[in-house]
Amino acid sequence: MVQPATIPSQMDEKKGLLLLYQMLLIRRFEEKAAEQYTKAKIRGFLHLYIGEEAVAVGITQALTDDDNVLSTYREHGHALARGIDADIIMAEMYGKQEGCSRGRGGSMHLFDASKKFYGGNAIVCSHLPLAVGMALASKKQKKATITCCFFGEGAAAEGEFHEALNLAALWKVPVLFVCENNLYAMGTALKYTHAMTELEKKGASYGIESAAVDGMDLMAVVEAANIAVAKVRSSSKPYLLVCNTYRFRAHSMFDAELYRDKKEVEEWKKRDPIPQFENYLLQKNWITETEIAAFESKIEMKIKLAVAFAEAGTWEHLDQLTKFVYSES
């Protein structure tokens, strides 16, 4: 049964502290991942989420545990916000079988069905049609669940983006499309890849209600997410939310990052969502500087234990090589 539209309370002390903790956890986890990558502990590709934490945390807080979540290859932040443990994620990135994908997916393919987190999808825009299909399944089964699909503005230039929005609108399915517009996709500025740079306007051509929000402002994202989720859940129709944000690090650890001015990056860092939200909580007297330091210490220990868990993890045996690859029936 579809539930009536209700917009959760925007913020209180308990919720504020939880969201700050989640953003700090994502930031420190990503910093440690970068460090371990330089030590060759993590191999393959690594795409960091540093700077975009307010989007993952702000959107995820509006979802229920029963809702579906799909993401791109820059998904560590979404996975942590969704509740997948840092130990499990780090083990996956190490390639150990204690990881959420048994070490077979690595950084780009985090997957945990128990959390209804369905990737980690490495092909740009490949998961948008999947999200529409999952939302259609929920509708046919008369479930109250919605599907939330994170993607970047690079995906919005792909044909599958338009196909997915068209079918979502045509079939009237409960899917929330969340575009994380960090302005550069893999390495080309938005103005060189999109004739219409106000990406939220793309939803209108399919009759999909759309909005844009400052993705560097956690409070703004929380409010926009609560409204969007409530509308999707009550109407069983799609919604496009564009979160204008910025990644502070390169596209990936292999990226020489020659396509944007370092001064621009430094200007965006002044809008870092974490100190902004810390200041909000301090002004509300919901936290003290000492308590923020305590959060940092707690998170430091958690990540230290995650690395130890990954280091102690085990490799799959060679006799398991074809498991999950070829059918035995």
pLDDT at 320: 87
Cβ(289)–Cβ(295) below 8 Å: no
Instruction: Give me the phi and psi of 210, to 5 degrees please.
Output: -140, 160
pLDDT at 325: 81
| pLDDT < 70 stretches in the chain | 1-9, 327-329
User: pLDDT tens-digit profile of 31-85?
Assistant: 999 999 999 999 999 999 999 999 999 999 999 999 999 999 999 999 999 999 9
Cβ(34)–Cβ(48) below 8 Å: yes
Q: Which of 168, 199, 175 is nearest to 185 (CA)?
A: 199
DSSP state of 243: E
Domains of the chain, earliest start first: 13-310 (3.40.50.970)
* Distance separating alpha carbons of residues 125 and 29, to the nearest angstrom: 26
pLDDT at 328: 67
pLDDT at 8: 47
pLDDT at 1: 29
